[in-house]
Amino acid sequence: MEQNPTENLTPFRYFILNKPYNMVSQFISSHKVKLLGDLEFDFPEGTHAVGRLDINSEGLLILTTNKKVTRLLFEGDIKHTRTYLVLVENKVSEETLDNLRNGVTIRVKGGGDYTTTPCEVDLVEKPENLFEGGYKFSEYKAYTWLQLKLTEGKFRQVRKMVAAVRHPCKRLIRVAIEDLTLKNLQPGCIQELEENEFFELLNIENFKNEL
């Protein structure tokens, strides 16, 4: 009987992590920082982060052994929406919201200016059941929670956008990529997803033809 050459291949695995504040989105670093490998979870060999969050940002981080997910999700012709909750200093006016929605000029990696594409920005209430550790706020300042939905992701783009309209970012949480959300996943916790569910929630069609 002829053997199917794909029978012995290890299937890809897919995880989401609620990345805590003050942790980098990698397993190895030359700096003394908290790493993904410090989490109490036995990741399979070849696991890597997709769409990294910087050390001070929190929230939804994709981890997978499938090296093609980054290209399918972030480098293709179809743009995928990322949703962030952002805490900024001071009260935000409607005029400022419109500026953010229509595009603001930021400095991008390499030193050039870039005008962000139109996006959705709304005022929101402080999220419920929010992990509060690691932050210090002034009792003399006002703060505002925003929800931003973007289809692009320049380096530290959200932080640069709110800084450009004079509202420094105090806290940044990615809560969704397309229909893939954190739900009730707590900081530092990991959930594994089946392949079909993973790609359906990310709205990536005909992915099997791409792998």
What is the set of active-site residues? 54
The conformation of residue 188, written as its DSSP 8-state character, comes to T
Q: Where are the alpha helices (DSSP H) in 32-189?
A: 69-74, 94-102, 157-164
Radius of gyration (C-alpha) of the chain in whole angstroms = 19
- Nearest CA to 51 out of 88, 85, 19 is that of 19
Place of tokens 């959930």: 191
- Nearest CA to 126 out of 135, 113, 114, 116 is that of 135
**Spatial separation of the C-alpha atoms in residues 60 and 42, rounded to whole Å:** 19
**Spatial separation of the C-alpha atoms in residues 112 and 142, rounded to whole Å:** 32
